[in-house]
Chains A and B, each alone.
Chain A
Amino acid sequence: MKLLYFAWLRTKIGVSQEEVAPPDEVRDVASLIGWLQTRGPNFADALKNPAVVRVAVNQEYVRPGHPLAAGDEVALFPPVTGG
């Protein structure tokens, strides 16, 4: 699974993208965020308030209950501020 981080999620976590193989319990977006929070203080800090984190799977916005598959591209980022 490919993970991408943008804006302050990227700067807090310290990487812009990585390949991960989450444990089997990670079946949806909410459980992925729960698992990521355990990967270190940088992740715990960046993801301490999941309500402000937007998630896209394969470049489409999804909700926390969205199921995940091994080959997915999952992006985590704050609310957008373009325009």
Chain B
Amino acid sequence: MAIRVQAEDFDVGAELAALTEGNRSIGGVTSFVGLVREMGGGPSAMTLEHYPGMTERQLAEIEAEANARWPLQASLIIHRYGRLEPGDRIVLVATASKHREAAFESCHFLIDWLKTRAPFWKLEETAEGSHWVEAKDSDDAAAEKWKQAR
């Protein structure tokens, strides 16, 4: 289990290789990489603010919950903060297990849960100025489904 909150970019291949290094019980790894996407009006950068301390604590709780629900061999969450541009990586969630179901499901759970629990906020830059991104009901619904799921 590992959590990293950092301004710097990460190398997905190197992170996945390190995650499984030396563990011959792992049969599959699922990863999710979140990117800054271009919004309607053309390229728009954003600045991610977070709550240092609570961020790490919430991510650790989310990761512990995934490890309690699924038989994981390894897991990793990296989330960036600071100013990011379209195409930049924001987040990496990776889970490793003996079998693919646990890896797929726990990775999906972690990103859904993270989006509604981890204290990050996006300030988007547009031609008209910058504005705080509003939370989506669909994200709450996505997290909610895991409450009934297992």
B87 interface hit (Cβ, 8 Å): no
Give which listed residue, A8, A11, A56, contacts B119 with CB less than 8 A.
A56
Number of B interface residues, CB 8 Å?
A: 28
A79 interface hit (Cβ, 8 Å): yes
B50 interface hit (Cβ, 8 Å): yes
Residues of A within 8 A of B119 (CB): 6, 56, 75, 77, 80, 82
Query: Are B132 and A78 within 8 A (Cβ)?
Result: yes
B115 interface hit (Cβ, 8 Å): yes
> What is the 8 Å Cβ interface bit string for chain B, positions 106-146, against chain A (1 contact, 0 not)?
00000100111111111100000000111100010000000
Instruction: Label chain B's interface by main secondary structure.
Output: mixed
Q: A59-B57, A77-B119 are in contact. Are A83 and B51 (CB under 8 A)?
A: no
Give which listed residue, A4, A6, A75, A80, contacts B117 with CB less than 8 A.
A80
Closest to B113 in A: A83
> What is the 8 Å Cβ interface bit string for chain A, positions 57-83, against chain B (1 contact, 0 not)?
001110000000000000101111111
Query: Are A82 and B54 within 8 A (Cβ)?
Result: no
Closest to B55 in A: A82
> What is the 8 Å Cβ interface bit string for chain A, positions 1-21, against chain B (1 contact, 0 not)?
000101110010000000000
B86 interface hit (Cβ, 8 Å): no
B82 interface hit (Cβ, 8 Å): no
Task: Please give the distance in Å from B66's CB to the nearest CB on chain A.
Answer: 15
Known: A6-B51, A83-B115; 18 extra A-B contacts, CB below 8 A, are A4-B51, A8-B132, A11-B132, A56-B51, A61-B117, A75-B51, A75-B54, A75-B119, A80-B120, A80-B121, A80-B135, A81-B115, A81-B120, A81-B134, A82-B115, A82-B121, A82-B122, A83-B118
Interface on B for A, CB 8 Å cutoff?
34, 48-51, 53-54, 57-58, 79, 90-91, 111, 114-123, 132-135, 139
